[in-house]
Structure 1
Amino acid sequence: MNKPKTCTDTFRFETQPFFEQLRKAISNRTVNTQNLIECKDDMLFAWNPSDCCVIAFNWRLAQTKGDDNVNFQTLIPSTPVDYVVNKVTASHEGQYLALSGSRGVAIMEIPCRYGPNGQYKEGKPRILCTTHILDENYFASNTLVCIQQVRWHPASPKDSNLMVLLSNNSIRTYDEAKLQHIWKIGPTPCAPTRSSLPYLNSLGDTAVDFDISAPRVTAMANANTTLNTTNNDTTVNGGASTKNVEWPLVILFGNGNLYIALIGLDTDKPRIQGPLTIYPSTKDNYGLDSCTILALPSNPTTLVVAESSGRLFHMILVESEAELNNSENYDENGLKYEPCEWIVNVVEVVELEFGLKSTENKDDENNQIFLKADINNDSRYFVYHNAGLHAISIEFLPTLQRYFEDNGDSIDIESILSNFKGNSEYLVALDAKLNAVVGFCLLQSPPGLVLVLSSGQVVTLNVITNPSFLRNIRSSASSSENPKETTESAMLNSKVFSGSFVESIRQMLASGTTQPILKLNERTPKESLELLLDAFQRLRDQYISKHDSVRQKIEQRVKILRVLDEQQRQEVAELLQEKCKLRENAEHLAEKYEEINDRQQALMKSLHEILRLINLRMPSALVAERNFSEQINKIHAITKDLANNIAACKKKMEKQQRITTTDKPAKVLTLQPKQETVLKEIIGESNTQIETQINEIKRIKKTLNMD
């Protein structure tokens, strides 16, 4: 029977055999904050410290089936891992696991997955996996060298390139078991006699962490069409130009200095630049006890630097606009530092709240802080440490990224970023001496988080992909209940309160912290009382004081609005009087307008009649009329000539008739039928033309009244 999910175990993982086995393995063990679990796609991996093996669990299969019968698989290393493992890191494609501790690191090959349930080797319970212990003899002979950080190379062709940062300011790169390169990134620490702590460690000049920024591609001229690897960069040659792919490693030192090492897959000696200039500058260079760095996938790259005191710095890594000088610096060991091509702008500082502290170590303000990027949201990351778990949202990142994607010509960082403030949520509160963090990982589809504690408790929570959705839902919840009242109140508020005032109230009421989930063991009455008093004090400091200041500001605003209301009432009364006067004047002007309009209409009619008469009396006032008159005169002359010709023809015909009647009969001429037909046609056409012209002349005379 399934155990119902609780508010702290929404995925119902606590009853799974995977976590029961992990609970047995870590029971009765005093541990500091570490990360023994890892999630890659639908597989959960955990290091079993008691059996020195890895256990794997298909968590999505368990969610689909909805029961507790999905067993885990045990991945046994082929080579025994005899050092203390405190971190499990999966490669980018999930083909390898890195098992790292302060005194050793190993690479385990993950077997193939097949079968109906998508498990390794069709669900085989125990699988022997090929495991490579990296430089075992080196760590055994160098007792002062510790591993600071391990990260997989993002451009590894076989997903097998691992980079290991050591406390002697060097980075070792491996391809499975093969050591490829040793990169020096700083001076080598040396320990004095009768001491196990090197000089540079105590001064903070040792690299403590690194992360990989976005690559950049540079072009080189005069190259052959081959595939080469130079000493510094991975190069892809084609034609007359070569493209160099450089991966900037952002390296953090304990004193807060930042360096960049430009590396490729086959780089023998990296190009090191630094320390980077940080703006705005401060005396302490933004911290003297830095411990962790995180590079978020954005454009430009956003860096998060954490101090062990609980301060987080949100920085932007941008290319420097100043001209680079060709001068190169060398340290005592001959390590070359090139001029910096980047600068760092600090946007904001977030103070973490350590809600619960052990009563035995109340004065201990330093904690090892670990950062993990959110795989579901690029503008959010998680912080886990001895006092619990935080979720930090970088509000300015989406706006800044959209601006750079639009290819803006210039940017005023202060004007764009001044309106945004990071949001810190305290999710889980712990007492490190009694209940430390053993593992933390993130899930996808559905998004969630898994937190395993040293007491065996498992915290699983759903994660909102975009935190702004929650704010939109909260703001629209009341409007969905009564939209009419909400619309009226919104209109009233928009008239009474300006946007800046409402925004200031929201900022004053905004809570920088959240009430975390408490995961505690049994405490004495005195400790419980101290916890209750601390909660009351936090309530007074963080909530009641804010409401008091908001109340005072609203009262002041109400006084101002009352004075404005009285003034507006007086102005309204004066405006009503002016309205009455204007209405009377408008009626009087309307009557005058009607009279004037009637007079104007009568005058316009008279004017039109006068113009018509003038046009009739003018003989040829217009050019068109003059031309028409000339054409009519010509036609009249032509028709007159034609009439004279017709009269002459008639006289000749009469004369011929008289002659023919008085004279002797002449010889009769006979025409041929064809000639007679032609003459008749000619005479008919002439008669038709004459009749047409006569009709035209009559019509013109009638038109011109020339009868």
Structure 2
Amino acid sequence: MSSLTDVLDLNKTELFAKIRNGLPIVPQTQNLLDCKDDLLYAWDSNESCLLVTNWRASLLQQEATKRAKVSYQTLIPSHTVGLHVERVNASQEGSLVALSGPRGVFILEVPRRCGPDGNFMDGKPSITCRTYNLDAQLFKSNPQLEVRQLRWHPDSVSDSTLLVLLSNNTIRVYNHSKLRHVWKVGPHSVKTSANSSLTDFGETSVDFDIAPAVKSRTTAETKTDDSLANSSTATAKAKKEKVEWPIVVLRENGNIYILLAGIDSAITRLQGPITITPQASANYGLESCALQIIPSLPPTVIIAESTGKLHHALLLEAESAELSFSEVDDFLLIEPSEWTLHVTETVELELGLSAATGDAYSCPIHLKRDLINEMRYFAYHNAGLHIVTVNFIAELQRFLDSEAEDNQLILTTPSSAEYILCTKFDSTEHTNPVLGIALLQMPAGLVLLLSSGQVISLKLVIDAQLLVTVREKVQHTSNDTAVDQQGGTSFADDIKALLQRSVSQPILADKLATQSAHERYELLNQAIEVLRTQYFKRHELVRSEFAKRINCIKLQRKQQLEEIKSLENEREIISERAHKLAERFEEISDNQEVLVRRCQKLMQDANAKLPNSIRAEREFALEVSRINTDTKTMAAALDKAKKGLSKQRYHIAKSQESAKTDAYKLPEKQHRTITEILTQLSSEIERQITDAKRINKIMGV
């Protein structure tokens, strides 16, 4: 099971073995992990130091078993971090790491990377890093003050601007260790020992996020030159254009405010509470705990409740500014709201798999964006991890890319929430929350640290559409063509809709408390019930749909065969008719040609016999007649000459053949006699020559 839930084998590494010794005794959902490029950061609570390792090197270690074991480096803060760290948040460029807890924030400067493996300071095991403690005196003077959220500003050129939300409804802006601005986002609401303030009414800000920048034209006072200031007024009003970043702030009662401010703005504009539509019988976010913004167009706002509800809304510009009610703090100026929130859907998460009847489990939910796939984000909590895919973002993109004038935006595809990891499946108070989550890139992956010390590392699919093969794409294209022709939905889409499950069977975390036999029996019954309702029942429906589809196809095939037979008969009849029409056409064409010649002859005769024809015309007609007669005579003579030439050529060829065959040839008997005589004469001559040679030899000549 570990090989399936820990693909990077991180449970066996020395880094997480060391972290297990310092895990908190009272577990609650935290984020002690973060990842930037190929570096995985993890906070060691036992020694108050930051551990870092190269996670890509662990992948290479699996491929090359002979390689040395992947080690880690220890980043030791220069100042002792005397607080309980609950968040590890690396900056966008990875130059700084923010370590925050309820009672303070530390910023740790990351050293330079060098060496062949890209480690810090060429792989030195322990490195002392410069550390800043932000506003330590402020937290000492205010025992009830707590840190609610912190985020790095995306517009920071030096990658060093940090925004910290405190429980007194202020956002403090830091650049390295320097406090730059203090922005008020609500009334002063800190509890004291004497009385309870607005926290009882849910007016405390619990989370915030930064939306994409917008351009705003404001009227600012600019000072004139010193020479003009001495003689006349010292200021002049001028309009200028500047960039503002809408900071969306969520309060515990579900109200949402927007703070419009630039990165160096000393004066900000607070608007709210924003109107949320459509109106519901119960207000949205009565137990709000987290907020996340996906930078779509328009931006998508996710509001999480501790009951497991996730509200997906679009941040839209209002047609007219709306006035808000007065805050308790008279020193807080709130402008009319220029924004509205339109809730498109509400997704309800299943928190745990407890089969016991009673009140549903409730816990704070934390949100984390997926930087690879903008349509996806993660929700982690005491009961595990969910992956939520916001499908209407793709429909928004298609609507914006479409150039059709009559195109209408209709959000029809609901979002899907998949329960990936379950850490609570009993009715007891024991929990195994997520203590850290880190997202890996290239290849995409996910690392989770549980309070039990177990590490979950999974590979993620960047986009589910990438799993579709080429053949399925071609089939899907043909199905879409058929759908366009028929004007309905394709059969494949219907089957996918039937197989779509509302509940998934998550991974059950190991190392939980031993359950009783009854609780295990209930968990087994619940798993069986899920299989029956969400798997087997849907497969039965699919089988029934396939049977209907097969019967329909058979009926259509039979009908098509009959239509093909009827069309074959009609084709034969049409072919016979076409043949008859062709013959009739040829006959009519010949008759027409005869009639045309007769008409021409009649016109010539009529024209020649006209009483008022002139002498030249008559002479021309006679000349044409004479030429016609001579032409016919010459044609007859030419034919006669051609025939005579052919006859002469025939006789010449025949005489040549007879001359070849008329050569003299002796009879066979005479030929044989002459041959014998010549043979005898040859023998006699040879004999006489021999005698002459012999006589010459005797005579000595």
Fold shared per TM-score above 0.5: yes
Tell me how far 1:200 sits from its aligned partner: 3.3
CA contact (8 A) 1:358 1:431 kept: no
The equivalent position to 2:362 in structure 1, one of 359, 366, 380, is 366
Tell me how far 1:448 sits from its aligned partner: 0.9
Asked if 1:508 is matched to 2:507, the reply is no
Partner of 2:121: 121
Partner of 1:296: 294
Q: 1:559 to 1:15 in 2, by over 3 A?
A: closer
Asked if 1:162 is matched to 2:162, the reply is yes
Question: 2: CA distance between counterparts of 1:52 and 1:614?
Answer: 127
So what's the TM-score if we normalise by structure 2?
0.75
Partner of 2:523: 531
- The SS at the match of 1:94 is coil
Aligned residues: 592
Tell me how far 1:428 sits from its aligned partner: 1.4
The equivalent position to 2:508 in structure 1, one of 514, 518, 539, is 518
Question: 2: CA distance between counterparts of 1:223 and 1:443?
Answer: 47
Tell me how far 1:562 sits from its aligned partner: 7.7
For the aligned residue pairs, the C-alpha RMSD in angstroms reads 4.0
CA contact (8 A) 2:273 2:324 kept: no
Partner of 2:418: 425
Tell me how far 1:488 sits from its aligned partner: 12
Partner of 1:141: 141
- The SS at the match of 2:296 is coil
- The SS at the match of 2:263 is coil
Matching of residues 257-268 of structure 1 within 5 Å:
257-268=255-266
CA contact (8 A) 1:223 1:242 kept: no
CA contact (8 A) 1:448 1:463 kept: yes
Asked if 1:206 is matched to 2:204, the reply is yes
Partner of 1:461: 458
Matching of residues 631-642 of structure 1 within 5 Å:
none
Tell me how far 1:79 sits from its aligned partner: 1.8
CA contact (8 A) 1:428 1:516 kept: yes
Q: 1:491 to 1:315 in 2, by over 3 A?
A: closer
Tell me how far 1:395 sits from its aligned partner: 2.0
Q: 1:471 to 1:346 in 2, by over 3 A?
A: farther
The equivalent position to 1:344 in structure 2, one of 341, 344, 357, is 341
CA contact (8 A) 2:352 2:361 kept: no
Question: 2: CA distance between counterparts of 1:487 and 1:598?
Answer: 56
* Matched letter for residue 256 of structure 1: G
Partner of 1:217: 215
* Deviates further, 241-250 or 217-226: 217-226
* Deviates further, 37-46 or 403-412: 403-412
CA contact (8 A) 1:113 1:122 kept: yes
Q: 1:362 to 1:149 in 2, by over 3 A?
A: farther
CA contact (8 A) 1:16 1:68 kept: no
* Matched letter for residue 431 of structure 1: K
- The SS at the match of 2:446 is strand
- The SS at the match of 2:111 is coil
Unaligned runs of 5+ in 1: 227-239, 630-701, 703-707
Question: 1: CA distance between counterparts of 2:135 and 2:539?
Answer: 60
Partner of 1:283: 281
Asked if 1:50 is matched to 2:42, the reply is no
Tell me how far 1:111 sits from its aligned partner: 1.7
Deviation digits for residues 627-657 of structure 1 (CA, Å, limit 9, x no counterpart): xx9xxxxxxxxxxxxxxxxxxxxxxxxxxxx
Tell me how far 1:469 sits from its aligned partner: 1.0
So what's the TM-score if we normalise by structure 1?
0.74
CA contact (8 A) 1:329 1:338 kept: no
Deviation digits for residues 22-46 of structure 1 (CA, Å, limit 9, x no counterpart): 22322x8331111101111111111
Partner of 2:432: 435
Q: 1:607 to 1:108 in 2, by over 3 A?
A: farther
- The SS at the match of 1:6 is helix
Partner of 2:59: 63
- The SS at the match of 2:437 is strand
Tell me how far 1:262 sits from its aligned partner: 0.4
Tell me how far 1:205 sits from its aligned partner: 2.5
The equivalent position to 1:404 in structure 2, one of 400, 404, 408, is 400
* Matched letter for residue 544 of structure 1: F
Question: 1: CA distance between counterparts of 2:465 and 2:97?
Answer: 35
CA contact (8 A) 1:328 1:336 kept: no
* Deviates further, 172-181 or 400-409: 400-409
* Matched letter for residue 527 of structure 2: A
* Matched letter for residue 418 of structure 2: E
CA contact (8 A) 2:424 2:431 kept: yes
Question: 1: CA distance between counterparts of 2:592 and 2:481?
Answer: 50
Question: 1: CA distance between counterparts of 2:484 and 2:336?
Answer: 54
CA contact (8 A) 1:259 1:275 kept: yes
CA contact (8 A) 1:15 1:68 kept: no
Tell me how far 1:211 sits from its aligned partner: 0.4
Partner of 2:441: 444
Question: 1: CA distance between counterparts of 2:516 and 2:400?
Answer: 55
Q: 1:120 to 1:463 in 2, by over 3 A?
A: same
* Matched letter for residue 462 of structure 1: K
Deviation digits for residues 15-64 of structure 1 (CA, Å, limit 9, x no counterpart): 222222222322x8331111101111111111111111111112223434
Unaligned runs of 5+ in 2: 225-237, 618-626, 628-701
Partner of 2:248: 250
Partner of 2:622: none
* Matched letter for residue 147 of structure 1: V
